[in-house]
Amino acid sequence: KEGRVVVPLRFVSETLESAVTYDGGYGGINITSVAYQNKIDSGAVTVDRWGRELRTKQTSKEWNLMSDTPDNVYGIKKYMITHMKGQIDAKNYINRFTKEELDRIAKNVKDYYKFALNVDYRTINATAYFSKSFDLMGHNGYMNPMPFDEFVSFMKKNKVIVEGYAFPDTSTIYSYHGTQFIRTKFKFRVLNAIDITQFNGDSYNPGGRSDKVTWVKKGKWYETYSDVSLFSNSQDIQGTLKIGSTGNMFTKGAYLYKELK
């Protein structure tokens, strides 16, 4: 596919004597070699509830540092939505959630961006787009359909075709001045657009809080990191949090991006 060879993951891994397990709650696949499992069993390596490796040196009071996460991701600026006092860092906040609750929150974020980062102007429909947004976002029971109608109209006019997905990092959920956030990695590419800087809800009509993404090039894959705001109308927020805003990916001064080769 697109110049790359795709192989059956389980067959190749198990042929190389690695164990393959599927985490249905989070939607992740863990591949563990015999040598790596021995390191876990001996305590030389520590993994979290999802099988991800924690760094040996935990030098941060704010984050649980993961071996597979670049240093600069932990330095992304936090942004404030409300003005309540107080914050709870990820290192402490994650302990309030069970794995099942965090799996549901991660799935909510994944499902939203599977929807919002896969737009095709030839098939998008305003009524269906609003209905799906209503289901996938956290709200108080009411959402104004007009901004969604205007967005869909623009996507059609701009001839947008984009594809992508999100990887919310369950180790990074935190509370900041009354709002919950989860640090998230995105991958996307814009296949078509007249104005290529506006290709989804997060990049649409920039200004105020969001940047105009002038660095995007047609057909190129990008990897970005930013905080996704979460919201729930329930007093019991554990596992009920959903996307709280349609603009998370390109908040001014609060995201990272790189073009993938």
Q: Is residue 76 part of a domain?
A: yes
Q: Is the pLDDT of residue 4 over 90?
A: no
Q: Is residue 120 part of a domain?
A: yes
Helix (H) or strand (E) holding 9: helix 9-15
Same domain, 39 and 60: no
Same domain, 202 and 82: yes
Count CB atoms within 10 A of the CB of residue 95: 8
Same domain, 17 and 138: no
Query: What local confidence, expressed as pLDDT, does residue 140 receive?
Result: 87
**pTM of the predicted model, to two decimals?**
0.94
Residue where the block lists tokens 């709870």: 88
Same domain, 126 and 189: yes
Tell me the residue range of the domain where 133 lies: 55-259
Same domain, 14 and 39: yes
Query: pLDDT tens digit string along 166-191?
Result: 999 999 999 999 899 999 999 999 99
Query: What local confidence, expressed as pLDDT, does residue 216 receive?
Result: 98
Query: Which one of 10, 25, 45 terminates a domain?
Result: 45
Q: Is the pLDDT of residue 215 over 90?
A: yes
Same domain, 17 and 112: no
Q: How far apart are CA 63 and CA 69, in angstroms?
A: 11
